[in-house]
Amino acid sequence: MSLFDKIANFYDRIVGPFNLEEILDYFSLEPNGLLIDLGGGTGRVAKQLVQHVSECLILDSSYDMLRQATDLSERIILLDSLAEQIPIQTGSIKQIFLNDSLHHIQKQKETLAECYRILASGGELIIREFDRIYFWNVFLIIMEFFLCFKSTFLTPKELSSMCQQLGFSTSIIRPTKATYIMIAKKE
């Protein structure tokens, strides 16, 4: 049982609210089609994403986290799966969103490659993460270390390089000093 399984019942209270409107000015969501909320856990982000898209699929490897999202919306689909082995057809998805979740994924390169595989031509991978170089984020990094999360935080440059090696074109946006949004487009 993972730590996420153990804290699933009160995860949203620990992490606090998410406000999609604060970052929606930095990218656009494809209103038609299925959007994947990768590492979406309890659905605290998906319940806001689904207000802007036709359907939202929450993909997470923690069954207990996903169970928290069961009654959020009839337009939210739940999938218990590893991020590096997504059981979705090649080239079939227009957008994938990761909010504060990539650093929890152990196989980051494989996950990014899998995202590239399932994205359609012109599709976008939108990643919002904490920049490990920002001074105050060191406390988050230390806390996650002591909680045994095994997190790997990437700088915008490191993540952009990883994505470009896979064939993505990338752009970085800095909504705050602590966070960044990377938009990786499959050409």
Digit-coded pLDDT (tens) for 49-74:
999 999 999 999 999 999 999 999 99
Higher local confidence (pLDDT), 164 or 4: 164
Q: Which residue intervals of the chain are DSSP H helices?
A: 3-7, 11-15, 46-49, 63-67, 108-118, 137-146, 156-166
Flag whether pLDDT at 9 surpasses 90. no
Supply the pLDDT for residue 81.
98
Supply the pLDDT for residue 14.
76
CA distance 38 to 81: 10
Supply the pLDDT for residue 135.
85
Q: What is the CATH number of domain 3-186?
A: 3.40.50.150
- Strand partners for 163: none
| Cβ atoms of 11 and 41 closer than 8 Å | yes
Binning pLDDT at 50, 70 and 90, where does residue 10 land? low
| Cβ atoms of 54 and 43 closer than 8 Å | no
Instruction: Over range 13-37, report the average pLDDT.
Output: 88
- Residue 69 structure tokens: 């999202």
